Amino acid sequence: MIYKVIAKPEFRKFIDALVRENTSFGPRQVDTAANGNPIYQFMPVSSVEEIEFDYTATASSAKHFFLPFREELSRFSFNDSDFKQHIAYEAEPVVLIGLRACDISALNILDDVLLNGHYPSPYYLAKRKNTFVIGMDHLPLPDCFCKSLAHHTVSTGFNLFCSDIGEKYYLSINSSKAFTYLKEFQTEEPSYEDNCLLTERRKLISRSFQTEVDVTSLPSILDIEFDSPVWEKWGAKCLNCGTCAMVCPSCYCYSVEERFDIDLKGASRNRKLYSCNLVDFAVVAGGHNFRPKNGDRLKYRYYHQHRGFAENANQQICVGCNRCGRACLAGINPKDVINDLRMEKESCMICVSQSPART
Amino acid sequence: MKNPVYTFEKLKFASFEFTCCEGCQLQLANREASLDAFFSLLDVRTFREISSEKHDDYDIAFVEGSISRSDEIERLQVIRKQAKILVAFGTCACFGGVNSLKNRFSTEECIAEVYDGQPIETLPIRKISDIVQVDLSIPGCPVAKEEVERIVVSLATGSLVTLPKYPVCVECKEQLNTCMFDLGEICLGSITRAGCNAVCTSGKTPCLGCRGHADDINFPAFMELVKERGLSVSDLQEKLGFYNAFEAYRDDET
């Protein structure tokens, strides 16, 4: 990693040059909620003026730039007695500006699942390699809990990361591409004072978290609490709408469907991001549903998020951005569900004998 | 047509209208880019919006509209006898649709208001499945042509015909729309069957549920959400009743 500092006006020139020459997306305010809060999304940007560098968090994550909500995986063309399959892994170069540390952590987790596993996804790889990721730090929202999962900072997975140290950005340059682009702009070696400001900035971010979720031993607690009444309690609130998984930066489950073209001369195989909360997620051929109950489906989302699957070395994939909690119409959020799960057990511990005392 | 992966037979197709605006059938003539390919799948026997020819030897009948007169019942029964597959086409056919608002008033009141007391025969609105057996429902006000194309291709190739089981929220989130509830509106998207690509909410109009309820919806949780946000329960009832698509749920827990 190479470190530089750049004055904010110069940084704006750099970003402007970048977005004018490339297909770029950055945070923009798209609406104002009824409660007065601005709502942001990663949207197309064509000049620096359009980018809200001081945004809070986007309602939806940046996942869909790498894992589109719908994606054609292959095309088939029919001829008289046979068919041909066409597969293309093309991805346009894209610049993504303003991802938070947790968003980049989520990409690193997706890398683990989709690139470093037994079955690397060439579709994902093409997009990941062709996307220039610029991260920016921020002060957490009151409900952000990424610190609990150690995702409030990030050291890999981006091309450039910008820490706001007042008059300047402190740049962590993590790719030769970023280094080359920056050569044409005026940057400086960080001074002693800049380093102090960066340390202060990190301390301020770390101190500013208001929400903490105790995730220690969570994988084992989830194993033990498989039949907990907590699942039914929260499942009773769940609308099965799938919103949590759609806005999540690390939910990657999908369905695949094959479809004939309307002219019957070809067909396509399509992937669609799905959610384990949707009613037919676990329906198999013949119609049997392995998870017909809301509570079971909700449980499996928490299992995948906080216990992990074998393909991900049983690591938690939740990064603590709380987008799901903010978006859930039923008020279901990881903090309350996990606390409930812990309390459920801890509050009934009075009926068992105490652990052996230290001798 | 011979093909390595499917068998294909042109569908002997007929389209009929009852009490409706005929907008759903008009959708069949929309989406010009694929119109030629679409009609290549069909052997149109009767379809008055596109042809004056009329033949009674059809296998598949799309029925648009709800039923509001006794002569409509007779016509519908004749169609049922002929059709191997009868499709309730559009929200009016599937649920009664916006016409069902009439059922909140007495027949006399309706005749007095609309026809100024002229003698006219009219019955309370009924959906198609109240009268005859329906083999397949394609909801929507109007129907989504893209979905109709997909279903017709499935029918013509003998593949499984499916509608999404999940609610509109999934498609709404794909468009990165701001949730209508966050904008202070009651939206039926979280209990309504997807397949419309969230066209209304993408235009910042709350979902009124024209596609009916999704599979296995959590209606009590939805009621709770409206109350908890301090939104008007009478506004909710108005929306649930708009297309008569939530008949089974409407009076629950009011």
Residue pLDDT, tens place only, B15-58: 999 999 999 999 999 999 999 999 999 999 999 999 999 999 99
**Cβ neighbours of A31 in B, within 8 Å:** 178, 182-183
Residue pLDDT, tens place only, B125-162: 999 999 999 999 999 999 999 999 999 999 999 999 99
Residue A160 amino acid letter: L
Residue of chain B whose alpha carbon sits nearest to that of A259:
B150
Angle at A249 between CA A292 and CA A202, to 5 degrees: 135
Q: Which two tokens stand for residue A129?
A: 């390699």
Tell whether B184 is within 8 A of chain A (Cβ). Answer: yes
Q: Which two tokens stand for residue B30?
A: 């929309």
Mean of pLDDT over chain A = 93
**What pLDDT was estimated at residue A346?**
67
**What pLDDT was estimated at residue B249?**
84
Q: How many CA atoms lie within 13 A of A198 on its CB side?
A: 20
Checking if the pLDDT of A302 tops 90, the result is: yes
Collapse the DSSP code of B155 into the 3-class scheme (helix H, G, I; strand E, B; otherwise coil) and give the result: helix
Checking if the pLDDT of B253 tops 50, the result is: no
**What pLDDT was estimated at residue A278?**
96
Residue of chain B whose alpha carbon sits nearest to that of A265:
B3
Summarize the confidence of residues A161-178 as an average pLDDT.
97
Long-range contacts of A278-287 (CB under 8 A, 24+ apart): A278/A240, A278/A242, A278/B165, A278/B166, A278/B170, A279/A240, A279/B165, A279/B166, A279/B214, A279/B215, A279/B216, A280/B165, A280/B166, A280/B215, A281/A253
| Contacts of A358 by beta carbon, 8 Å cutoff, 6+ apart | none
Checking if the pLDDT of A351 tops 70, the result is: no
Tell whether B253 is within 8 A of chain A (Cβ). Answer: no
Residue pLDDT, tens place only, B75-122: 999 999 999 999 999 999 999 999 999 999 998 899 998 888 788 899
Test B173 with A81 for CB contact under 8 angstroms. Answer: no
Cβ neighbours of B162 (radius 10 Å) = 12
Size of interface A-B (CB pairs under 8 A): 130
Give how far B126 is from chain A: nearest CA, Å: 29
- pLDDT level of residue A359 (50, 70, 90 thresholds): low
C-alpha distance across the termini of chain B, in Å: 56
Alpha helices in B48-159 (DSSP H): 70-82, 91-95, 107-115, 145-157
Q: Where are the domains of chain A?
A: 2-207, 218-346
**What pLDDT was estimated at residue B6?**
78
- Map out the domains of chain B with their CATH numbers: 11-157 (3.40.50.700), 169-241 (no CATH)
Contact present, B13 and B156 (Cβ < 8 Å): no
Percent of chain A whose predicted confidence (pLDDT) is above 70: 95
Contact present, A200 and A137 (Cβ < 8 Å): no
Residue of chain A whose alpha carbon sits nearest to that of B218:
A239
Residue of chain A whose alpha carbon sits nearest to that of B160:
A259
Q: In what order do the strands lie in the sheet with A70-78?
A: A83-86, A70-78, A266-273, A254-260
**What pLDDT was estimated at residue A343?**
82
Test B157 with A264 for CB contact under 8 angstroms. Answer: yes
Q: How many CA atoms lie within 13 A of B172 on its CB side?
A: 32
**What pLDDT was estimated at residue A175?**
96
| In chain A, residues 287-306 whose CB comes closer than 8 Å to chain B | 292, 294
Tokens 């074998």 belong to which residue? A310
Q: In what order do the strands lie in the sheet with A23-32?
A: A2-7, A168-173, A160-164, A131-136, A94-99, A23-32, A38-45
**What pLDDT was estimated at residue B125?**
96
Better-predicted residue by pLDDT, A222 or B206: B206
What is the Cα–Cα distance from A244 to A266, expressed in whole angstroms?
Answer: 35
Checking if the pLDDT of B251 tops 70, the result is: no
Query: Quick check: pTM over 0.80?
Result: yes
Contact present, A10 and A186 (Cβ < 8 Å): yes
ipTM: 0.93
